[in-house]
Amino acid sequence: MKKKESVKTTTKTTYQIPIGPIHPALKEPVMFEFEIDGERIIDVDVSLGHVHRGIEWAGMQRNPVQILYLAERICGICSYSHPIAFARAVENACDIEVPERAEYLRVIHGELERICSHILWAGVAAHEIGFDTVLFLTWEMREKALDLTEYLTGNRVTKAIIMIGGVRRDITSDMVPKVQETLKYFKDNFEKLRHIFLDDKTVRLRSQGCGVLTYDDALKLCAIGPTTRASGVKKDVRVDQAYAAYGDLDIDYMTPDVLTGEVNGDVYDRIIVRLLEVKQSIDLIEQCLDKMPSGDILSEPKIPKLLARVKKTAGEGIGRHEAPRGEVIHYVKFDGENDNPYTWKARAPTYNNILPWIPMLKGEQIADIPIVAASTDPCISCTNRVTIVDNDKNSRYILNREELHRMSIEKTRRLMK
């Protein structure tokens, strides 16, 4: 109530726009409240919790092998990142060694998910600025990645490939040609994608100098993943901690200055980082296929034996993994009497990347909300219903997702004139 009054007295033309929590295309329900002065965004507030399913609580009633399935369903797009972080936490707590071949297989699946996720994101970002042709182009590419995922793991989205102490399925020598064929397809199409996103005038006009996150803000607000790397912060679990087989592979931080020689921290830089990472992932999978040693893929194939070992463990473990959106951390604690964890805590990358929205969006225009929001990859802006409350006239009008999208397209057209 107090907030509203202050809004009224400061300026005549301040609006409040709640966005969410229902938005029918992608991603989870979440609610944002924007304070608008004309077209400029003055303040942003976030409220989370609409997708709270009590997963951690449910996990504490189950044993680690059952939790793998639960962890997979924390997020359908990071359906590999969560189980691997959890499995690494359990391996850390129970001192389970992972066979070397399994470490390489884990890298391959992780990088495949990154390709999938970044291509998906590229399509959504293009959609947000009214470039739907690219949405269809990228999703067609994504289907190729899904085909490969299905070939290697047996499912398109929830893969169930991770097991505590290794992976469930091997990549045999007769499967390698299919993997190489798909990688070749990506390489052939990568140039096309790079050209569309980095050379196209429309994309440049909409993304350069828009939604800037400075180096200091990125550090202060603990941004992670491509969002922080686009601001020049060198932070990547794959390099910092070199888990799984990453230590043996040629990998470096992907910051925008690798390509352009400068760091601006805007939406354009975040596009550059993701595109570079797609290329890096293709390269990493190829390296893995070359260097992969032969041997076991699972340290303990008998599940009752594995659970008995977990039951005897008293202690805690942490598992970190660089998911496509940033670092994901899982923490588990076992009490030494039960095989279900005493505590299980998961921290997903989007939590860290939500707060940087505030400096990114402040001072931007309403038409930029979709692309700035999408640039951190929570894809919140898709399909929102927006209500604009005009404090002076005391009237309400509703902007649905299409109108928001239309405003975004109109801005692109204005810029092109």
Binding site for other proteins (CB under 8 A): 21-29, 49-55, 57-58, 61, 69-70, 73-77, 79, 120, 135-136, 139-140, 142-143, 146, 156-158, 383, 385, 400-402, 405
Q: How far is the CB of 242 from other proteins (least distance, A)?
A: 29
Contact indicator for 393, 404 with CB cutoff of 8 Å: no
Give, as one character, the DSSP assignment of residue 248.
Answer: G
SS3 at position 266: coil
Location of structure tokens 């034996």: 305
**What would the two tokens of residue 50 be?**
């609409």
Q: How far is the CB of 119 from other proteins (least distance, A)?
A: 12
Q: Which is nearer to other proteins, 135 or 284 (CB)?
A: 135
Q: How far is the CB of 69 from other proteins (least distance, A)?
A: 6
**Strand 386-390 to 162-163 pairing:** unpaired
Q: Which is nearer to other proteins, 135 or 278 (CB)?
A: 135
Residues in the chain: 417
Q: Which is nearer to other proteins, 136 or 215 (CB)?
A: 136
Q: How far is the CB of 368 from other proteins (least distance, A)?
A: 19
Q: How far is the CB of 288 from other proteins (least distance, A)?
A: 26
Q: Which is nearer to other proteins, 70 or 193 (CB)?
A: 70
Q: Which is it for the CA torsion 42, 47, 48, 50, positive or negative?
A: negative
Q: Which is nearer to other proteins, 55 or 388 (CB)?
A: 55
**400 Cβ contact partners less than 8 Å away, ≥ 6 residues apart:** 384, 385, 386
The helix or strand, by DSSP H or E, that contains position 344, with its residue range, turns out to be strand 343-347
Q: Is 9 exposed, middle or buried (0-12, 13-18, 19+ CB in 10 A)?
A: exposed
Q: Which is nearer to other proteins, 40 or 62 (CB)?
A: 62
Q: How far is the CB of 27 from other proteins (least distance, A)?
A: 6
**Torsion, Cα of 199, 203, 205, 208 (10° steps):** -80
Q: Which is nearer to other proteins, 75 or 148 (CB)?
A: 75
Round the CA-based radius of gyration of the chain to a whole number and report it.
Answer: 22
Nearest by Cα to 364 from 13, 9, 38, 41? 41
Q: How far is the CB of 255 from other proteins (least distance, A)?
A: 28
Residue 293, strand partner residues: none
